[in-house]
C-alpha cells in the first residue's frame, strides 16, 4: 500500500466486520459468541510498516461500552484497556458474560451453549487443571477458559480449539452443532479436547523445535489426556481404549512406507497425534512398569522443564535425553530408532525394554 504522493502514511484505519474466519494454520481473528460477546485475537492485528524487527512489541488499546467486561491476560477491566503485546498475541474477551472463577480457573462460557455443555465445561477445566498442576507444577497465573458458540454462522460448520499461553479456547460455529451436541460421543470428545489443550498449558511453553518432532508435544498432550481421563472419569475407559486403537491403526498406516520423522516433515500432521500418542503412552507404561516413577510420562516432562529452563524448542535429542534419564537407555534408544524407521510397530520395541 502506498500513498498517491509517495509520502509515508502516518496512520492506517481499517474497518471490518468481526466475523469468524477459518484460517488453515492460524487461529481466527474473531470468535463471536451467540450471547453477543466477542473474542478477538490480538496476534491477527500485529502489523509492521515494512519488515518486523526480531522481537517486535505492539501498543494496543481497546474501547467498548463502559459497562462491558474486557478480559485481558487473566485480568478483568471495564470499558477501556491499554496494553503492550508481543510473541503470538492472545485472545481478548469483550462482553457481558460474568467470568466464573473456580478452583483457580477463570471461565467464560457462552450463555447460548446448551446447559449440559456449559455445565460440563465448567466442571472439566478446573479438574484437568488441578490434575496437571499436581504433576507438572502450577501455572504462573490462573488459566482462562473461553467457550463460544456461534449458531448463526452460515458458511458450514466446525470447531476451532487451541491453547495460547495461559488460555484454552474452543469456538463452535454453525447451526449443525445444536444437533451434534446432543450425540452420545459429544461429551467424551469435548472432555478429551479440553484435557489435551489444558495439557499444553502445563507443558509450560515447551514445544518441539521442528516439524519432525511435533509428535513430542502433540503426542504428550494426547497421552496426558488419556492419563487424566482414565483417572478422573473411569467410566470412559472403553471410549479411551477405542481412541488408542484408532490412533494405533492410523499411525501404522502413516508410517508403513516412511518413518514418523519423514511423515511429519512432509506435513502429515495427524501422525503427530496418532503416533505421538502411541509413543508417549509406551514411554509412560515403561516407566510405571520399571518402578522408575509412579508419575510415568509426567516425570519425563518435569525433567524436561528442568533441562530446558528458559531454553529453545525441544529437539528429538532433548526428549530422548530426558527419557533416558528417567526410563534408561533401552527405552530412549528404542524411541530414537522407531521414530526413524519405516514399517515398525512404534511401541513394540519400547515395550520389550521392561
Ligand atoms: Zn495440541
pLDDT over threshold 90, residue 141: no
CA of 65 to the centre of ligand 1 (A): 35
The yes-or-no verdict on residue 248 having pLDDT over 70 is yes
Confidence of residue 33 (pLDDT cuts 50, 70, 90): very high
- pTM here is 0.89
**CA 4 – ligand 1 centroid, Å:** 46
Widest distance between CA atoms in the chain: 74
- Cα of 221 from ligand 1 centre, angstroms: 6
* Cα–Cα distance for residue pair 134/129, rounded to 1 Å: 9
**How far away, in angstroms, is 224 Cα from ligand 1 center?**
11
- DSSP lists the bridge partners of residue 40 as 30, 92
Torsion of CA 222, 171, 107, 134, to 10 degrees: 10
User: Mean pLDDT highest for which of 45-49, 209-213, 244-248?
Assistant: 244-248
Compute the distance from residue 5 Cα to the ligand 1 centre, in Å. 48
pLDDT tens-digit series, residues 249-266? 999 999 999 999 999 999
Can you give the pLDDT at residue 26?
Answer: 86
Displacement of CA 272 from its chain's centroid (Å): 13
pLDDT classification of 346: cutoffs 50, 70, 90: confident
Domain ranges of the chain: 15-183, 211-353
CA of 12 relative to ligand 1 center, distance in Å: 36
Q: Report the C-alpha gap between 259 and 240 in whole angstroms.
A: 26
Distance 218 CA to ligand 1 centre (A): 5
Tell me the residues surrounding ligand 1 (ion) with CB < 5 Å. 218, 221
- Average pLDDT of the chain, as a whole number: 91
Report how far ligand 1's centroid is from the alpha carbon of 163 (Å): 8
**Main-chain phi, psi angles of 239, to 5 degrees:** -70, -35
For every residue of 200-253, which 3-state class applies, written as one string? HHCCCCCCECCHHHHHHHHHHHHHHHHHHHHHHCHHHHHHHHHHHHHHHHHHHH
CA of 273 to the centre of ligand 1 (A): 8
Distance 200 CA to ligand 1 centre (A): 7
Instruction: Output the CA 25–ligand 1 centroid distance in Å.
Output: 13
Q: How many angstroms separate the alpha carbon of residue 297 from the centre of ligand 1? A: 17
Tell me how far the alpha carbon of residue 177 lies from the centroid of ligand 1, in angstroms. 22
* pLDDT tops 70 at residue 31: yes
Give residue 72 CA to ligand 1 midpoint distance, Å.
23
Question: Distance, CA 208 to ligand 1 centroid (Å)?
Answer: 12
CA distances from 137 to 140, 207, 314, 321 (A): 9, 17, 19, 21
Amino acid at each position: 500500500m502506498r500513498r498517491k504522493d509517495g509520502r509515508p502514511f502516518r496512520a492506517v484505519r481499517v474497518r471490518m466486520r468481526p466475523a469468524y474466519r477459518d484460517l488453515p494454520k492460524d487461529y481466527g481473528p474473531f470468535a463471536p459468541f451467540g450471547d453477543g460477546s466477542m473474542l478477538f485475537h490480538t496476534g491477527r492485528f500485529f502489523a509492521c510498516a515494512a519488515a518486523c524487527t526480531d522481537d517486535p512489541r505492539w501498543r494496543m488499546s481497546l474501547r467498548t461500552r463502559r459497562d462491558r467486561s474486557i478480559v485481558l491476560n487473566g485480568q478483568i477491566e471495564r470499558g477501556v484497556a491499554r496494553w503492550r503485546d508481543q510473541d503470538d498475541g492472545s485472545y481478548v474477551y469483550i462482553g457481558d458474560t460474568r467470568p466464573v472463577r473456580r478452583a483457580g480457573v477463570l471461565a467464560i462460557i457462552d450463555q447460548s451453549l446448551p446447559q449440559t455443555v456449559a455445565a460440563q465445561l465448567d466442571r472439566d477445566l478446573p479438574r484437568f487443571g488441578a490434575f496437571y498442576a499436581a504433576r507438572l507444577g502450577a501455572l504462573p497465573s490462573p488459566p482462562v477458559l473461553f467457550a463460544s458458540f456461534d449458531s448463526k454462522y452460515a458458511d458450514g460448520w466446525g470447531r476451532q480449539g487451541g491453547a495460547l499461553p495461559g488460555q484454552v479456547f474452543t469456538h463452535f460455529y454453525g447451526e449443525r452443532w445444536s444437533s451434534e451436541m446432543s450425540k452420545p460421543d459429544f461429551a467424551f470428545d469435548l472432555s478429551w479436547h479440553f484435557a489435551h489443550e489444558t495439557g499444553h498449558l502445563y507443558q509450560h511453553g515447551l514445544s518441539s523445535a521442528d516439524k519432525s518432532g511435533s509428535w513430542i508435544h502433540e503426542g504428550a498432550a494426547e497421552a496426558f489426556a488419556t492419563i487424566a481421563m482414565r483417572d478422573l472419569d473411569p467410566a470412559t475407559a472403553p471410549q479411551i481404549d477405542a481412541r488408542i486403537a484408532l490412533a494405533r491403526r492410523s499411525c501404522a498406516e502413516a508410517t508403513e512406507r516412511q518413518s514418523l520423522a519423514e511423515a511429519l516433515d512432509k506435513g502429515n500432521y495427524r501422525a503427530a497425534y496418532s503416533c505421538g500418542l502411541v509413543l508417549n503412552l509406551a514411554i509412560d507404561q515403561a516407566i510405571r512398569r520399571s518402578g522408575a516413577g509412579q508419575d510415568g510420562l509426567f516425570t519425563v516432562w518435569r525433567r524436561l522443564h528442568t533441562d530446558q529452563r528458559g531454553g529453545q524448542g525441544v529437539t528429538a535429542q532433548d526428549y530422548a535425553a530426558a527419557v533416558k534419564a528417567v526410563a534408561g537407555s533401552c527405552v530412549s534408544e528404542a524411541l530414537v530408532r522407531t521414530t526413524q524407521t519405516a514399517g515398525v510397530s512404534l511401541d513394540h520395541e519400547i515395550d520389550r525394554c521392561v
